[in-house]
Amino acid sequence: MCNYNTLKNSKHGYVVQCKNCDHIQVAFGTTIVSLTRAAYYEHLALVQEQFDQNCRTMPWDQKVIHIPTAAKGVTMIYTLNELHTLQDLLSEGRKKLEYNDLFVFNEN
């Protein structure tokens, strides 16, 4: 059973990490995804890439940015405003992960 450590929480969603299995759960809007740490970093990189590629050319309030998931039949779709908020949420979660990695104490 998972025991979560909150990495980032906001009115838009959260990023938590299971202390037992190390999976990271991301809730944003009406979607929750569970990712390995490697998949979390890949997901963040994809969100950042999509934002950077589209922020100057796409309307900020239309759902036009598609983000695939590991489930072949499931794709998330966002406005640039939502994608920017998701990017912030994921980036803050990554910072907390990296901070926690720096301060791992041996319990022996």
103 pLDDT band (50/70/90 cuts)? confident
- The answer to whether the predicted template modeling score (pTM) of the entire model surpasses 0.85 is yes
Range in 21-25, 46-50, 67-71, 83-87 the model is least confident about:
67-71
Q: What is the mean pLDDT of the chain?
A: 93
Strand blocks (E) in 2-108 = 4-10, 13-18, 24-28, 31-35, 65-68, 75-78
- pLDDT of amino acid 108: 41
Cβ-contact 97, 37 below 8 angstroms: yes
- pLDDT of amino acid 62: 96
Sign of the C-alpha dihedral computed for residues 77, 23, 37 and 17 taken in this order: positive
Q: Which residues contact 10 (CB under 8 A, 6 or more apart)?
A: 89
Q: pLDDT digits over 68-99, tens only? A: 988 889 999 999 999 999 999 999 999 999 99
Q: Which residues contact 59 (CB under 8 A, 6 or more apart)?
A: 79, 80
